[in-house]
Amino acid sequence: MDGAWSAAAVRRAEAQLMAQLPPGTLMQRAAAGLATECARILKRRNGGVYGTTVIVLAGPGDNGGDALFAAARLARRGVRVFAVPVMGERVHPVAAAALTRAGGRLVANPPRHCHLLLDGVLGIGGRPGLPGRAIDRLAAIDADTIVAVDVPSGVDVDTGAVPASAVTADVTVAFGSRKPCHVLGRAALLVGRLVLVDIGLGPHLDPHPAVRVAGDDDLAAWWHAPGPDDDKYTRGVVGVAAGSERYPGAAVLSTSGALAGPSGYVRYAGTAAEQVRRRHPEVVCTQEVKEAGRVQAWLAGPGFGTDEAALAELRHVLESPAPVVLDADALTLIGEYPSVLSQREAPVVLTPHDREYERLYGSPPAEDRGAAAAVLAKRLNCTVLLKGHHTVVASSDGEVWANPTGRPQLATAGSGDVLAGFMASLLASGMSGVRAAVAAAYLHGRAGGIAGAGHRTVTASDIAKALPQAVGQTLSAADTPGKRR
């Protein structure tokens, strides 16, 4: 499991590491990694490093120091470097001297164009928002590539919120570890491509990051691959209560998602039985939840309606001792009748988008989306998967995960139905609520990538079709492909 660490946690780790090293070592490691990445970008875009132009926006702290030391390394390779102090004249004095010694210049008025702009305004010591001079400079300079040093300046490092102006980077070179702003909220959209530079912080970081980020190895360790003694029941039976006469498609799509998961049997209960059977002959269909028989997990809600009949079906699902995923109309019903959840003991995963979140919580999610998911999870004693460009999962005891695989093509009608069906299958196979939510978002995002490769348009059906390949790719990429049950 990877993760993102808060500014305070990074500082604690840095303090431990710095105590073992000669002064300035860490900053030199950071600057060396940053200069290497800048040189790579300049070579790729301009065929070489020599003779290119780099502008540094330099703040007063160590973030500016990193940028200036890196720029000094570039200046020694023949890059024309112009550094602009953006908070009065305050800049890291030792780094500024190193830059001038290497032939770079500190200027108030840089050229209008540069091949690469280094954003060294603010790092983990920054409060949200940019100083005025930095905003003016960013607007006036035409840069081929903007590289943010550690974080895009102006973002809220610990939450990913962007309450005021901030830099939009093409590449962010982060030191030691990810920070929450790299993976959460609007800030994550300003990061561009993230490059991590190892400065030796790893062993000193708290084992519990502020935000967890799953990878292929986690998915493989959690995945329940069938063993020789398994049958379709022992692999888990998933029940899908979705669709209505008006929205039969939601039933078809959520059963598509469920069929792509690891469980051995999919039951469908609802009025779209005919359409589901026609599209998926392997699904066993009934008209009502009560007739469906035993399952190891339920999904309820997509295209379900919010009338009396839907509420009654939701109650039947919640009476079952099996874990459930509640999506779409089921979330609206929970918002209206929160008491239907009160007797629940088995795990519940809620999968709201922002409008559904508002129905459940009473106000839209805060810009700190990790905290927003966590407060709702705590209040309702459920796992919450808060959808968005960077989907977040929170457990009721405050564990927060950010999904690293999403992409905008996933924003297509019915995509959430596929996600919810797939998640219910993971739950039925025996995964915990949090893992099922994290794993479903991860593989759904990856399936979107497979379906949308080469800029192809993507439909929800395409995502469902790509899910088995996403699973295959993920398990093959990991060291240990799937555990036996």
Ligand X SMILES: NC(=O)C1=CN([C@@H]2O[C@H](COP(=O)(O)OP(=O)(O)OC[C@H]3O[C@@H](n4cnc5c(N)ncnc54)[C@H](O)[C@@H]3O)[C@@H](O)[C@H]2O)[C@@H](O)CC1
Ligand Y SMILES: Nc1ncnc2c1ncn2[C@@H]1O[C@H](COP(=O)(O)OP(=O)(O)O)[C@@H](O)[C@H]1O
**What does the binding site for ligand Y look like in residue numbers (CB under 6 A)?**
328, 353, 387-389, 391, 406-408, 410-411, 413-417, 419, 444
Residue 162 interacts with which of K ion, ligand X, ligand Y, none, CB < 5 to 8 Å by class: none
Site for K ion in 449-468 (CB under 5 A): none
Q: Give the residue at shortest CB distance from K ion.
A: 153
Strand (E) or helix (H) holding 417:
helix 415-428
Q: Residue 252 contacts by C-beta under 8 Å, 6 or more apart in sequence?
A: 243, 272, 275, 276, 279, 280
64 a known binding residue?
Answer: yes
Q: Does 62 bind K ion (CB under 5 A)?
A: no
Q: Residue 347 contacts by C-beta under 8 Å, 6 or more apart in sequence?
A: 323, 324, 382, 383, 427, 432, 433
65 a known binding residue?
Answer: yes
Q: Which is nearer to ligand Y, 413 or 453 (CB)?
A: 413
Residue 119 interacts with which of K ion, ligand Y, ligand X, none, CB < 5 to 8 Å by class: K ion
36 a known binding residue?
Answer: no
Q: Give the residue at shortest CB distance from ligand X.
A: 123
Dihedral angle computed from the Cα positions of residues 159, 164, 165 and 170, in that order, rounded to the nearest 10 degrees: 20
Site for ligand X, rule CB under 6 A: 14, 18, 26-27, 30, 59-64, 66, 87, 122-127, 129, 131, 149-150, 175, 199
- CA–CA distances in Å: residue 5 to residues 14, 205, 211, 240, 395: 12, 8, 7, 38, 18
In a 3-state reduction of DSSP, which class is residue 50?
coil
Question: Residue 387's closest CA among 353, 350, 421, 430?
Answer: 353
Alpha helices, H only, 189-299: 216-222, 248-259, 273-279
Question: Residue 94's closest CA among 133, 74, 64, 119?
Answer: 64
Q: Which is nearer to ligand Y, 265 or 304 (CB)?
A: 304
- Under a CB-based contact definition with an 8 Å cutoff, are residues 163 and 156 in contact? yes
Nearest approach, Cβ of 51 to K ion (angstroms)?
26
Question: Residue 143's closest CA among 113, 188, 169, 103?
Answer: 113
78 a known binding residue?
Answer: no
Q: Residue 363 contacts by C-beta under 8 Å, 6 or more apart in sequence?
A: none
- CA–CA distances in Å: residue 314 to residues 190, 355, 420: 40, 20, 15
Residue 126 interacts with which of ligand X, K ion, ligand Y, none, CB < 5 to 8 Å by class: ligand X
Nearest approach, Cβ of 217 to ligand Y (angstroms)?
23
- Burial class of residue 140 in the structure, from the number of CB atoms within 10 Å of its CB (0-12 exposed, 13-18 middle, 19+ buried): exposed
Q: Which is nearer to ligand X, 133 or 485 (CB)?
A: 133
Nearest approach, Cβ of 384 to ligand Y (angstroms)?
13
Residue 131 interacts with which of ligand X, K ion, ligand Y, none, CB < 5 to 8 Å by class: ligand X
Cα-to-chain-centroid distance, residue 154: 20
Residue 82 interacts with which of K ion, ligand Y, ligand X, none, CB < 5 to 8 Å by class: none
Cα-to-chain-centroid distance, residue 42: 29
Nearest approach, Cβ of 448 to ligand Y (angstroms)?
7
Site for K ion in 153-172 (CB under 5 A): 153
Q: Does 149 bind K ion (CB under 5 A)?
A: yes
Strands 171-175 and 53-58: unpaired
Nearest approach, Cβ of 169 to K ion (angstroms)?
8
230 a known binding residue?
Answer: no
Q: Which is nearer to ligand X, 131 or 249 (CB)?
A: 131
Nearest approach, Cβ of 60 to ligand X (angstroms)?
5
388 a known binding residue?
Answer: yes
**The one among 119, 218, 327, 368 contacting K ion by CB under 5 A:** 119
Residue 97 interacts with which of ligand X, ligand Y, K ion, none, CB < 5 to 8 Å by class: none
329 a known binding residue?
Answer: no
Sheet holding 297-300, edge to edge: 2-4, 211-213, 400-402, 392-394, 383-386, 348-350, 324-326, 297-300, 237-241, 265-269, 284-286
Residue 224 interacts with which of ligand Y, K ion, ligand X, none, CB < 5 to 8 Å by class: none
Strands 383-386 and 392-394: antiparallel
Nearest approach, Cβ of 415 to ligand Y (angstroms)?
4
Whose tokens are 């398990």? That residue is 475
Q: Which two tokens stand for residue 443?
A: 């593989």
What's the rounded Cα separation, in Å, for the pair 395 and 397?
5
Nearest approach, Cβ of 330 to ligand Y (angstroms)?
12
Nearest approach, Cβ of 80 to ligand X (angstroms)?
23
Annotated binding-site residues read 62-66, 119, 150, 153, 250, 303, 353, 387-391, 416-417
* Contacts with K ion, residue ranges (CB under 5 A): 119, 148-149, 153
Annotated binding-site residues for (6S)-NADPHX read 62-66, 150, 250, 303, 353, 417
Annotated binding-site residues for K(+) read 63, 119, 153
Annotated binding-site residues for AMP read 387-391, 416
